[in-house]
Amino acid sequence: MKGRRSRGKGGTQFGKASWRRCHPLRPAPGGPAPLGISGGGGLCACAPKAAEVSLSASSLDCPFSESNGRSVGRCGRGGPRGWAGPPRLPMQRDVGSFPVAPAVRAKLVAAGFQTAEELLHVSPSDLNKEIGISKEDALETLQIIRRECVSHMPKSSCASESGNKYTALELLEQEHTQGFIITFCSALDNILGGGIPLTKTTEICGGPGVGKTQLCIQLAVDVQIPECFGGVAGEAVFIDTEGSFLVDRVEAIATACIQHLQLVAESHLEEEQQKALENFSLESILAHIYYFRCHDYTELLAQIYLLSDFLSEHSKVRLVVVDGIAFPFRHDFDDLSLRTRLLNGLAQQLISLANDHKLAVILTNQMTTKIDQNQSILVPALGDSWGHAATIRIILHWDRKQRLATLCKSPSQKESTVSYQITCQGFRDVTASPPRSTPKEASENPRKRPRVES
């Protein structure tokens, strides 16, 4: 990779221990001051256990010294006797000293990365392929290294970062590396840009029986698809307010998903996919869907506000479903302003969970009738102010006997409508209808009366 350097043992290439910061020599206990005195004793930070060294040219143990008795830093410029060179720049810091995961640190070193400078122009996708880690881990590693370097820059050249500050480039990289949860309806995935995005809240609205809960169950299964199949290999939290969660339906959808992945693995003949399917079983899928039943708005609010601790203990959760966000708030609420405040606080909490834990939040909402200019129309419940809570809004509706999904709100995709169907296997594309019979075929049908030409 560009910028990589292999450092050997000979010449001016020093070992790993020599790349530690070399501080100015300090006098040994009871010894003379080292500056300006040939042969004086001193301590060098580069020597093992800060052993006492001599300043004579023949016996100077500091690796940054030359035979002329002048101490040389990494930049190669000489300094006064006893001077260990300029302070080490943050971009020249060893990758092993950054607070990244030990497994990631080992892979970086094994791949030949030694300093932060070598990772400066590496993208998350390139690092993902280079050392074999997920794109999310690659992005997090690069952000940690860059923030550490910026925080140790001199204040005159760069202001130190504080809090959760990001550059536009970091946000763009994060947008490109975030995963999607597929819906198994390719038409809906396409208008969403790849599926339900992580780190965002998505509201699914629709009338009774249109398939809102079916889509939520499908997503709770699909979020567990292994990464080698294009999934995010996560877990799901399902919060049910209406009691519409059916385990038998989950079992049927999960079984269909496993069968589909088995067909994909057989067609590709990849060892990684075959190995991933060994752990992707029906029992594993059911065991990683965490179900919570909330009977009123008090239980729902308590569950949402306590969810952060649960997610910290279950770091693999990539989907939180609240099936029936409106149901607890449509009864026993005379104070509409209080309801609005509670809903706004609930929405902000869910947005924080999505951002902090890198997961997708799905909210299902009912439809209500609104009178507008002497005509009634169906609109999502909870009022206009709630419409700003979610990042993405999908409305499921009927057109005669056909089910349609309309993307009516998205920050990056245009408004579109696609058709879908609910089958015994789950949420799926609409298959092409069989061709109509021709007049010749109809005439050959013995049950049809022959058409008399006039």
Beta-carbon contacts of 424 under 8 Å, excluding residues fewer than 6 positions away, are 252, 256
Mean pLDDT of the chain: 77
pLDDT at 121 over 60: yes
Report d(CA 90, CA 78) in Å as an integer: 21
Q: In the chain, what are the domain boundaries? A: 95-151, 178-429
The two three-digit tokens of residue 391, written as one number: 């990042």
Bridge partners, 365 (sequence order): 205
| Residues 182/225, Cβ–Cβ less than 8 Å | yes
406-445 residue pLDDT tens: 999 999 899 999 999 999 999 999 986 555 544 444 344 4
Report d(CA 70, CA 192) in Å as an integer: 64
The Cβ of residue 452 has, within 10 Å, a number of other Cβ atoms equal to 5
235-267 residue pLDDT tens: 999 999 999 999 999 999 999 999 999 999 988
Q: For the chain, how big is the Rg over CA atoms in Å?
A: 32
pLDDT at 355 over 80: yes
Strands 402-409 and 416-423: antiparallel
pLDDT of residue 152: 61
264-292 residue pLDDT tens: 998 888 888 888 998 899 999 999 999 99
Report d(CA 138, CA 143) in Å as an integer: 9
In sequence order, what E strands does 245-293 have? 289-293
| Residues 294/157, Cβ–Cβ less than 8 Å | no
In this prediction, residue 197 has a pLDDT band, given cuts at 50, 70 and 90, of: very high
Mean pLDDT value of segment 365-375: 85
Mean pLDDT value of segment 91-101: 79
Q: Token match 């869910």: residue?
A: 350
Sign of the CA dihedral 231, 237, 240, 245? positive
The residue type found at 126 is D
C-alpha closest to that of 199 among 178, 218, 222, 168: 178
Report d(CA 134, CA 136) in Å as an integer: 5
pLDDT of residue 15: 37
DSSP one-letter code for 29:
T
| Residues 219/362, Cβ–Cβ less than 8 Å | yes
Strands 392-399 and 375-380: unpaired
pLDDT of residue 371: 82
C-alpha closest to that of 76 among 68, 66, 67: 66
C-alpha closest to that of 321 among 359, 377, 363, 371: 363
Sign of the CA dihedral 12, 15, 21, 24? negative
Dihedrals φ, ψ of 308, to 5°?
Answer: -60, -40
The class level of CATH for 178-429 reads alpha beta
CATH superfamily of 95-151: 5' to 3' exonuclease, C-terminal subdomain (1.10.150.20)
Report d(CA 165, CA 142) in Å as an integer: 14
| Residues 215/427, Cβ–Cβ less than 8 Å | yes
Give buried/exposed letters for 282-321 (b at 16+ CB in 10 A, else e).
eeebeebbeebebeebeebbebbeebeeebeeeeebbbbb
Report d(CA 417, CA 404) in Å as an integer: 7
pLDDT of residue 85: 45
pTM of the model: 0.62
Report d(CA 45, CA 105) in Å as an integer: 24
Strands 317-323 and 235-240: parallel
